[in-house]
Amino acid sequence: MLDKEINMKTRDFGEMTVKEEDIINFTCGMYGFADYKNYVILKDSPEDDVMFLQSLDNTDLSFVLIDPYTIFRSYEPSLPEEDLTELEAENESELKYLVIAIIKENIKESVVNLKSPIAINPKTRTAKQVILQNTYPLRYNIIVAEEESKC
């Protein structure tokens, strides 16, 4: 069976075609954007650590995402049981995590939110922005993280 393709408009990349199987459905929407639940992750190549979460419901709604393990190697998310249940996962290791980045003009001021990552169940393509039980910061400086990871 052929995968169904969907044409979409994006804020930063113009018109694109995506496969239906690449759509991620948020159970509750993102914080502050509860009405928008269908997204796709866009990146230049599979190896990229920086990507974009583009809403299918709102062309102007797009978030910059980063793989948290590239900047904080000991990242170990701990989710409340209700989030695991909602994402149909038995434990945190079944999920993929991405953090929202705020990229500033002065790159040294750019931060990621380690406290409220996006948790994705790759098997069901469902996602949720969660609040971790761990004490990670809401704003973690990307440049500091890169310098620390070189040690």
List, as one string, the DSSP characters of 24-88.
EEESS-BTTBTT--EEEEE-SSTT-SEEEEEESS-TT-EEEEE-GGGT-TT------HHHHHHTT
Contact 28, 34 (CB under 8 A): yes
Q: In 10 A of CB 124, how many CB atoms?
A: 12
The pTM assigned to this predicted structure is 0.88
Give the Cα separation of 60 and 122 in Å (integer). Answer: 25
The pLDDT value given to residue 12: 83
Is 149 a residue whose pLDDT tops 60? no
Is 151 a residue whose pLDDT tops 50? no
Higher pLDDT, 51 or 149: 51
The pLDDT value given to residue 119: 98
Is 1 a residue whose pLDDT tops 70? no
Q: In 10 A of CB 9, how many CB atoms?
A: 13
Which residue bears the tokens 């954007």? 33
Higher pLDDT, 131 or 3: 131
Q: Cβ contacts of residue 36 below 8 Å, gap of 6+?
A: 26, 29, 30, 55, 57, 58, 61
Question: Which of the four pLDDT bands, split at 50, 70 and 90, describes residue 107?
Answer: confident
Give the Cα separation of 21 and 105 in Å (integer). Answer: 35
- Tell me which residue range forms the domain holding 120: 5-149
What domain count does the chain have?
A: 1
**CATH number of the domain to which 112 belongs:** 2.30.290.10
The CA distances from residue 23 to 4, 8, 98, 117, 124, in Å, are: 11, 11, 15, 18, 10
What is the percent of the chain with per-residue pLDDT over 90, rounded to a whole number? 68
Q: What are phi and psi of 131, to 5 degrees?
A: -110, 115
Interval 21-39: pLDDT, tens: 999 999 998 999 999 999 9
Give the Cα separation of 32 and 83 in Å (integer). Answer: 18
